[in-house]
Chains A and B, each alone.
Chain A
Amino acid sequence: DSGVTQTPKHLITATGQRVTLRCSPRSGDLSVYWYQQSLDQGLQFLIQYYNGEERAKGNILERFSAQQFPDLHSELNLSSLELGDSALYFCASSVGGGPNEKLFFGSGTQLSVL
């Protein structure tokens, strides 16, 4: 058990809808990262938050947004969903986000857009 909790584990929705994925980092970790793993694009870094603020951005679509709350949990919001958004979305956390830190991953949320 990595200590990172993601909910829900599975999500099935329709095109055009909006969903929210939730991530609770390990106790004490200030940095949260979001990744997308799909058959087409492979594993991609989406975005990072550190202590409530956006720290780094990757290949995140404009239809997607994220935030980190004062209690350090994070949410990834996906809107106007398309079939191609079907993927496994991972969250990871680390203490501060520095280069010598180990990332701990959650078990992911499997999103299916029908």
Chain B
Amino acid sequence: AQKVTQAQTEISVVEKEDVTLDCVYETRDTTYYLFWYKQPPSGELVFLIRRNSFDEQNEISGRYSWNFQKSTSSFNFTITASQVVDSAVYFCALSEGFNAGKSTFGDGTTLTVKP
């Protein structure tokens, strides 16, 4: 069975600080996909990134970066120079095989960025 653990329930930072959200996963499959989603206070889920199990390259998108390490089964998410608008609940998710939507989600990390 697959499992996603987001050990940090809540994180609070001051604007412009860097923050890393941790995600550890468990799966027996060799082919799988990892995701990060953002759920702002408005409630809608927003897709941020997808990474497949064969691609361990780190990715950077603006102030966001993701570090995928198969050796430690981790897929961590870093926000550089955080902003108040980054305040949200962030979910890490894992899907096995080729169905991107059939995912197991972590419990989420609530990030609060204070001005």
Residues of A within 8 A of B (CB): 2, 31, 33, 42-45, 48, 55-56, 58, 88, 90, 92, 94, 97-108
Contact = CB atoms under 8 A, between A and B. Distances in A.
15 contacts: A33-B102, A43-B108, A45-B102, A45-B103, A56-B99, A58-B102, A94-B100, A94-B101, A98-B98, A99-B33, A99-B98, A99-B99, A101-B100, A102-B50, A104-B47
Contacts, number: 64
Contact of B50 (A100, A105, A107): A100
A103 B100 contact: yes
9 A-B pairs with the lowest CB-CB distances in the bound complex, closest first: A33-B101, A105-B45, A43-B105, A99-B98, A56-B102, A107-B44, A102-B47, A99-B100, A42-B107
B44 A31 contact: no
Given A97-B99, A100-B100, A88 B105 contact: no
**Majority secondary structure of chain A interface residues (helix, strand, loop or mixed):** strand
Interface string B72-115: 00000000000000000001010101111111111110000000
A90 B98 CA distance: 21
Contacts of A33: 101-102
A92 B45 CA distance: 9
Given A92-B45, A99-B95, A101-B100, 10 more contacts: A33-B102, A42-B107, A44-B105, A56-B99, A94-B101, A97-B99, A97-B100, A99-B99, A105-B45, A105-B46
B31 to A, nearest CB: 9
B52 interface: yes
A102 B37 CA distance: 11
A50 B44 CA distance: 22
B101 A103 contact: yes
Contacts of A58: 102
B62 interface: no
